[in-house]
Amino acid sequence: MPTGDQLAQYIFSGLTTGSIYALIALGFCIIHNATGIVNFTQVDFITLGGMMMYTFLLAMGLPLPLAFLLGVLAVTVVGGLVERLAIRPAKSRSIIVLIFITIGVSILMRGIFKIIWGKNQMALPPFSGDTPLMILRAAVLPQSLWIFCITVVVVIILHLFFNHSLIGKAMRATSFNPRAAALMGVNVNRMILLSFALSGALGAIAGIIIVPITTLSYDIGVMLGLKGFAAAILGGYGNSIGAIIGGLLLGVLESLGAGTISSSYKDVLAFVILLLVLFIKPSGLLGHGEKERV
């Protein structure tokens, strides 16, 4: 049995990675709500965020806040480009074809990353030193606090955006019923474009804040992204509160499992949990299930 101190330690580190999963899961949800698809380029938005940060911060020597903003902005633009160049021109609206277009773009993007940044592992410095702070007798890296705080801020901003801004409301209307939204004068195509840009921004933020405690390479986003997808499914796909809960839960359970059972099977645990939840509740924790239409 782990001691109380260890337990606190596991929970803190679980909440840290869980926040990242939550951000990524939100990105998956936003695009799912706008288009009904799983956007696998989300995985590469994470990597690209980290890579852009590396370039702006270390290669160009810009100050941290500016590098952060420019990094997020760059991936936001790339997110929009993915929609504009690969999703919108598609001749088929079939979900599986669109999903595989995003997989194709994902392979293409990783190919480009390899050319630009090479295959070597890189590292980014933490935002504010690496002397652990003691919180509730658990050693917490300052970067973990950054991750946690930035996630909270992002979630609050998203909440305000979707509930109190006209564009946010239009995006929600589109996700409920694109046809009705279009009849009300909402430019549905623009909303889909925006959702790709927005999830690009979310992926970038996740990548930028996690890289200082992991390493950076052209495929760093793959496992993180898939866990984010798992978190979104766990919470109930398309449900943003579910995505946050799913992310945090997955992070904490994974961390507890790695600490108490086996660290080499850490990734297995995350997906076993996911499968068990789905077998018991096929629509995820907060999902209503996908309705069958005749």
Partner 1 sequence: MVQGFLKGKSSFGLSILALMVLLFPWVISNPYYLNVVNIIGLNTLVVVGLNLLIGYAGQISLGHAAFYGLGAYLSGILTVSYGVSPWLAMILALAVTGLLALIIGIPTLKLHGHYLVMATLGFNIIINIVIIQWDKVTGGPSGFPGIPNLKIGSLVFDSDWKMYYLIWFFTFIGIVLALNLVHSRVGRGLRALHGSEVAACALGVKTEVYKVKVFVLSALYASLAGSLYAHYLTFISPKTFDIFFSVELVTMVIVGGMGSIWGTLFGTFFITPLPNILHFFDEYKDIFYGLILVLILIFLPEGVVVALRNRYLSRRQGISQTSFHGES
Judged by the rule CB under 8 A, the positions of this chain that interact with partner 1 are: 32, 38, 86, 89-97, 99-101, 103-112, 114-115, 226, 229-230, 233, 237, 264-265, 267-268, 271-272, 274-275, 278-279, 282-284, 289-290, 292-294
Closest to partner 1 by CB, 124 or 250: 250
Alpha carbon 18 to its chain's center: 10
Closest to partner 1 by CB, 132 or 282: 282
Closest to partner 1 by CB, 144 or 240: 240
Query: Least distance (Å) from partner 1 to the CB of residue 40?
Result: 9
Query: Least distance (Å) from partner 1 to the CB of residue 293?
Result: 8
Query: Least distance (Å) from partner 1 to the CB of residue 159?
Result: 24
Query: Least distance (Å) from partner 1 to the CB of residue 25?
Result: 12
Query: Least distance (Å) from partner 1 to the CB of residue 153?
Result: 28
Closest to partner 1 by CB, 134 or 294: 294
